[in-house]
Amino acid sequence: MIGKLNHIAIAVPDLAAATANYRDVLGARVSEPVDEPDHGVTVVFIELANTKIELLHPLGKDSPIQGFLNKNPSGGMHHVCFEVEDIIAARDKLAASGARVLGGGEPKTGAHGKPVLFLHPKDFFGTLIELEQA
Ligand code: CO
């Protein structure tokens, strides 16, 4: 059911420092920071040959990333995003298998303007999974 790895999202407490690290130490091509107020994040996109890394930093006081950083002050992997062809079919299959789909199960428009859903990390070995309709 899942297709390509669309991105891995990493929450970081200092976006400028993390961006510089990926650019200067790891030698990656990094974007300018992009504010996404609807999602409560500022994102730096790092394009790799086969996928993307997204560095996430809290934006606004109700950011979902802030709670994660409170628990993980030095930052860490926040979620992985897999592509699916049909997000409704994927949701129904997951729900039938007992996996918990977050947010009431209705897809929302994600950071790339496409429908996304999130799956409960406790059902996937401690990893928050995002599904994006490709
Ligand atoms: Co994501």
Assign residue 46 the CATH number of its domain: 3.10.180.10
Give the total number of structural domains in the chain: 1
Average pLDDT value for residue range 82-105: 95
The length of the chain in residues reads 134
Element (H, E) at 100: none
Task: Report helix, strand or coil for 25.
Answer: helix
Residue 14 has pLDDT above 90, yes or no: yes
Lowest mean pLDDT among 7-11, 108-112, 120-124: 108-112
- Whole-number Å distance, alpha carbon 53 to ligand 1 midpoint, is 9
Helices (H), the chain: 15-20, 64-71, 87-96
* β-sheet bridge partners, residue 58: 41
130 is catalytic: yes
Q: How confident is the model at residue 112 (pLDDT cuts 50, 70, 90)?
A: confident
- Whole-number Å distance, alpha carbon 100 to ligand 1 midpoint, is 18
pLDDT tens for 34-62 read: 999 988 999 999 999 999 999 999 999 88
* β-sheet bridge partners, residue 5: 82
Asked if 18 and 40 count as a contact pair (C-beta separation under 8 A), the reply is no
Q: What are phi and psi of 62, to 5 degrees?
A: -105, 25
Residues 54, 83, 130, 132: which is the catalytic one? 130
Q: What is the pLDDT of residue 58?
A: 97
More confident residue, 8 or 134: 8
Domain hosting 22: range is: 5-133
State the Cα torsion 9-15-20-21 to the nearest 10°: -50
Q: What is the pLDDT of residue 95?
A: 93
- Whole-number Å distance, alpha carbon 55 to ligand 1 midpoint, is 10
pTM of the model: 0.93
- Whole-number Å distance, alpha carbon 96 to ligand 1 midpoint, is 24
- Whole-number Å distance, alpha carbon 118 to ligand 1 midpoint, is 9
Average pLDDT value for residue range 9-24: 98
**What are the residues whose beta carbons fall under 8 Å from the beta carbon of 87, sequence distance 6 or more?**
107, 115, 116, 117, 131, 132, 133
Residue linked to tokens 């628990």: 71
pLDDT tens for 94-104 read: 999 999 999 88
Asked if 42 and 55 count as a contact pair (C-beta separation under 8 A), the reply is no
